Amino acid sequence: MKHDLKPATIAAHAAGALDPQSGGVVPALQPSTTFTRDENYELLRADNIYARDNSDNLRQAEKVLQQLEGAADTLLFPSGMAAIAAVFRTLPNGATAVIQSGIYWGTTAWIRDFCARRDVTLIEADVPDLAQACAKHDPALIFVETPSNPWLKSVDIRALSDATKATLVVDATAATPILMQPLAHGADIVMHSATKAINGHSDVLAGVLSTGRPDAQIWQDIRADRKGAGAILGPFEAWLLTRSMRTLPLRVERMTQNAQSLAEHLFDHPQVADVFYPGLPHHAGHEIAKRQMTGGFGGLLSVLVKGDKQDALRVVGKLELFLRATSLGGVESLVEHRHTIEPHTGIPENLIRVSVGIEDIGDLIADWNQALG
C-alpha cells in the first residue's frame, strides 16, 4: 500500500492484509504454535519459528497500528499492563523514574510496587509540576497519561519532551491513534491499552507500544524482554484486533461526537456540579488538548453530580442504556462509580466515570435526564 494514506483507508484495508492462499479479502487466522522445517532442518519461513516469538496475525495487527501511529516500529502485548511492565523492566536497580499522579490506578499501583522491589526511585508529580520534577531529579524514564483517567487532565507532550532528556512514554489510550499521535509531538514511546477503543468491542485484552526510534537501546531491551518473557499477543486475539481496527476511525468519530454532545448537555444540567472533558472550554487542559488532538477529544469523561456518594449511586443505578461495568472505549456506553472501586485513591464520592459509545446521542441524553431526575 501507499505510504501517504489517511487513517480511515489504512484501517479499512487492514494496512493491505489479505489471504494470499485463498484470495480472501479478510486476513486468515493461523493458530499454529510451531512451524515446520525441511529435511535439512531449514525453516520453511525464516520469520516463523515459534508462536511465543511471532506470528503472521501478530505482525498484521502491528503493521496496522504502526501506520496509524506514524511509528517506525510497534509491538503488541497481551494487555496494557504487560506493555507498561515491559517498559519499566528496562530500568536498572537504582534508577529514577517520574510518573504523572492521578492516572489509571492500576498503572500507579503496579509501578509503585515494582519500583519498591527494584530499588528504583519513584517521583510522582501532578501535571503542572512534571517538568520541574524532571529538572530536579534527572530521571531515566518519565511516564504520563493524556487525557488522563479519570481526571481527563492534558499533558503538553512537546513542552515536556523539550524539558527533559528522559525517555518519555505517553499512555494515549483515551485518545487512540486516530485523535492524537504522541510521537509527532516528541514522545519516545506511545502506549495504549488496545483492550479499549482500539479493539472497541470489549472482547480482547491487548496492549501496544510504538516508537519512532527502533534503534534506541530501551526499545531493543523491550523487544528482547517480550520475546524472552513470552509476553506476546496470541494469534486469535491479534486477528480479532485487526478485525476491529478496520472500523476504528468510524467508531472513534461517533464516540467523540457523542461524548462532546453529552458533556455539553451535562455541564448545563442543574443536577451536575462539573464535567471533566477536554472538549469543554472551561476544562483546564482544553487549550493543550486542542493543540495536540485532531478530530475531537475522545469518548471518556467524568461527571460530578451534585450531592454525595448516595446521590451518585442513585444516578448510576437509574441509568438504563449506560451499563454499570469497568473499562472504556467499547461500542456500548458504560458508567462506573469510581469511589466504590477505588476509595483509597482520593476520587470524589460524587464522581461518575463515563465511557460514551456509538449509540444514538438522543437516547443517551434522555437516559441521563431520567437518571438525574
**What CATH number does the domain containing 321 carry?**
3.90.1150.10
> Do 14 and 79 share a domain, yes or no?
yes
Question: Where would I find the H helices in 147-191?
Answer: 157-163, 176-179
> Do 223 and 295 share a domain, yes or no?
no
Please say which residue of 245, 265, 293 terminates a domain: 245
> Do 241 and 269 share a domain, yes or no?
no
Please say which residue of 245, 278, 313 terminates a domain: 245
The gap from C-alpha 57 to its chain's centroid, in whole angstroms, comes to 21
Residue with cell 489479505: 18
> Do 288 and 208 share a domain, yes or no?
no
> Do 241 and 252 share a domain, yes or no?
no
Q: Identify the three-state secondary structure at position 348.
A: coil
Examine the pLDDT at 2 and tell me if it is beyond 70: no
Burial class (CB in 10 A: 0-12, 13-18, 19+), 290: middle
Name the pTM for this structure: 0.95
How crowded is the C-beta side of 79, counted as CA atoms within 13 Å? 6
Alpha carbon of 115 to those of 105, 122, 149: distances in Å?
15, 7, 22
> Do 71 and 95 share a domain, yes or no?
yes
In a domain, 255, yes or no: yes
- What is the rounded end-to-end Cα distance, in angstroms, of the chain? 53
Per-residue confidence (pLDDT) for residue 19, from 0 to 100: 87
> Do 182 and 109 share a domain, yes or no?
yes
Q: Cα(181)–Cα(190) distance, rounded to whole angstroms?
A: 8
Per-residue confidence (pLDDT) for residue 54, from 0 to 100: 85
pLDDT digits (tens, 9 = 90+) for 68-91: 999 999 999 999 999 999 999 999
Helices (H) and strands (E) in the chain, counts: 14, 12
> Do 202 and 310 share a domain, yes or no?
no
pLDDT band at 345 (very low <50, low <70, confident <90, very high): confident
Examine the pLDDT at 114 and tell me if it is beyond 90: yes
> Do 81 and 151 share a domain, yes or no?
yes
In a domain, 2, yes or no: no
Examine the pLDDT at 43 and tell me if it is beyond 70: yes
Please say which residue of 200, 226, 245 terminates a domain: 245
pLDDT digits (tens, 9 = 90+) for 274-304: 999 999 999 999 999 999 999 999 999 999 9
Per-residue confidence (pLDDT) for residue 48, from 0 to 100: 87
In a domain, 178, yes or no: yes
In a domain, 365, yes or no: yes
Tell me which residue of 208, 182, 176 sits closest to 83, measured CA to CA: 208
Per-residue confidence (pLDDT) for residue 1, from 0 to 100: 64
In a domain, 86, yes or no: yes
pLDDT digits (tens, 9 = 90+) for 199-248: 999 999 999 999 999 999 999 999 999 999 999 999 999 999 999 999 99
Q: How many domains does the structure of the chain reveal?
A: 2
Residue 102 grid cell: 492521578
In a domain, 47, yes or no: yes
Structural Rg of the chain based on CA atoms: 21
Please, are residues 204 and 240 in contact by the beta-carbon 8 Å criterion?
yes
> Do 210 and 82 share a domain, yes or no?
yes
- Mean model confidence pLDDT for the chain: 96
In a domain, 82, yes or no: yes
Domain, as residue range, for 234: 7-245
Per-residue confidence (pLDDT) for residue 221, from 0 to 100: 98
In a domain, 1, yes or no: no
Q: Cα(320)–Cα(101) distance, rounded to whole angstroms?
A: 33
Mean pLDDT of 85-114: 97
Mean pLDDT of 40-52: 88
Mean pLDDT of 115-132: 97
Least confident span in 66-75, 88-97, 112-121, 338-347: 338-347
> Do 230 and 315 share a domain, yes or no?
no
Cβ-count burial 131-147 (b if 16+ within 10 Å, e if not): bebbeebebbbbbbbbb
Examine the pLDDT at 3 and tell me if it is beyond 90: no
Domain with residue 196: its CATH number is 3.40.640.10
> Do 165 and 289 share a domain, yes or no?
no
